[in-house]
Amino acid sequence: MKIILFNVVMLFFIDCYAQIPEIVRQQCYPDPLVNSNYQTIAQTENGYILGVGINNGNNASNYHGSADIWIIVTDSSFNTIWERCYGGSDTDNPNEIVKITESEYYIFGSTSSTDGDVQSGNNGFNDIWVVKINIQGEIIWENTYGCPGYDEIRDFILTPDGGFVMIDRIGSAGGDVSQYYGNGDVWMCKCDSLGNIEWEKTLGNQGLDNCISLTINNEGNIMMIGAVQQHGGMVECYPDGVWGDVWLVELDLQGDIISQHCYGGSDYDLGFSIIELEDGYIFAADTHSDDGDVSGLHGSPGGGSDIWVVRLNEQFGIIWQKCIGGYDNELPVYITQTTDNGFFIIGNTYSNDGDVSGNHSISEYDTDI
């Protein structure tokens, strides 16, 4: 029997923190054919809420068919309090569980279903699906969002006014999407606490545009990080090269753009995660470049990629930058600040040289400290 293993420890890729993290607790759960690309966890008042994508109903309650979202609520020792599936007869997957209060949570994911728990319709193909549940697992409301073309689900954050903002990468106009520039755009949608759309905005132009994550800064503005290929349209900054730069966009809660900035070199660069500091920002990106704003790439430009860490001042100017990795490919996932003002970065690596040691499987991606 396969099992799902949840470890209460984060794996960090960093070159300036010496203490080795230890596993505090772990728990195995029977695995009803889990889709390993879709796993998420959040903390409750007395334990945890886990979400995974599953492909059959063995050991899972209320399975609808095809692929469902399986939610497990546990106590602090990982003993199961309740579990159930959410979805319909087509494909449903979780991206994130977001805590609203101690008694209410959002499930942010995707769906191709139009039945079962999915009663809000479908715009075509794969839609964003937001489900609000209480701590007993009862659905308070659910809604789908998107366009008739493809929707590549990206990120979801709560806003200071009690609503939420989400982003995805879209392939057409229509449905909830009022504008499409072409070749894949970034779509941002602001909703109130009942899931009603307050505004939606398409970011991009006729080049290739991408988005990865969102955050809210101390001024209450929305920060989006991703990539943009070319200047023009609503894109005001100038990417360095033809492949695309890290793209940082700041918007207010009404959807008006405050500022936007491009960072990178002549090859492809993609921003993954950004956090605000007391006197600026720091972001983690994937880079294939070794020119422009980028220096210190371990591999050859256009070949292997590094994790690119960039420290910004309050005016979004670069203070310092560093490439982390080996001579193969690395990708960042998340960056966060430590209590001693250092930084933890989690990511994937193919390398076993340069900054990387102890890769357990050179033929596949490893998550490396």
Domain count, the chain: 2
What does the pLDDT read at residue 19?
Answer: 54
* CA distance linking residue 339 with residue 162, whole number of Å: 28
What does the pLDDT read at residue 7?
Answer: 40
The CA-atom distances, in angstroms, between 83 and each of 65, 74, 330 are 16, 9, 35
Of 145, 166, 183, which marks where a domain is finished? Answer: 145
Handedness of CA 357, 270, 149, 50 (dihedral sign): positive
What does the pLDDT read at residue 36?
Answer: 53
The answer as to whether 23 is a domain residue is no
The answer as to whether 3 is a domain residue is no
Q: Are residues 177 and 116 in the same domain?
A: no
- Taking 70 as the threshold, does the pLDDT of residue 88 lie above it? yes
Q: Are residues 177 and 277 in the same domain?
A: yes
Average pLDDT of the segment spanning 75-97: 95
* CA distance linking residue 137 with residue 62, whole number of Å: 12
pLDDT tens sequence across 11-58: 333 444 445 567 676 777 665 556 656 678 899 999 999 999 998 888
Task: Identify the CATH number of the domain in which residue 211 sits.
Answer: 2.120.10.10
Of 82, 111, 145, which marks where a domain is finished? Answer: 145
Q: Are residues 141 and 237 in the same domain?
A: no
Q: Are residues 192 and 85 in the same domain?
A: no
- Taking 70 as the threshold, does the pLDDT of residue 222 lie above it? yes
215: buried, middle or exposed (CB in 10 Å: 19+, 13-18, 0-12)?
middle
Cβ neighbours of residue 19 under 8 Å, at least 6 residues apart? none
Bridge partners of residue 349, in order along the sequence: 330, 366
* CA distance linking residue 208 with residue 163, whole number of Å: 29
- pLDDT, mean over the chain: 89
pLDDT tens sequence across 313-332: 999 999 999 999 999 999 99
Structure tokens at 21: 């993290």
Q: Are residues 102 and 162 in the same domain?
A: no
Q: Are residues 35 and 110 in the same domain?
A: yes
Q: Are residues 239 and 193 in the same domain?
A: yes
The answer as to whether 18 is a domain residue is no
Which range of residues forms the domain containing residue 77? 31-145
pLDDT tens sequence across 124-160: 989 999 999 999 999 999 999 999 999 999 999 999 9
Of 145, 180, 202, which marks where a domain is finished? Answer: 145
What does the pLDDT read at residue 5?
Answer: 42
Q: Are residues 79 and 154 in the same domain?
A: no
The answer as to whether 171 is a domain residue is yes
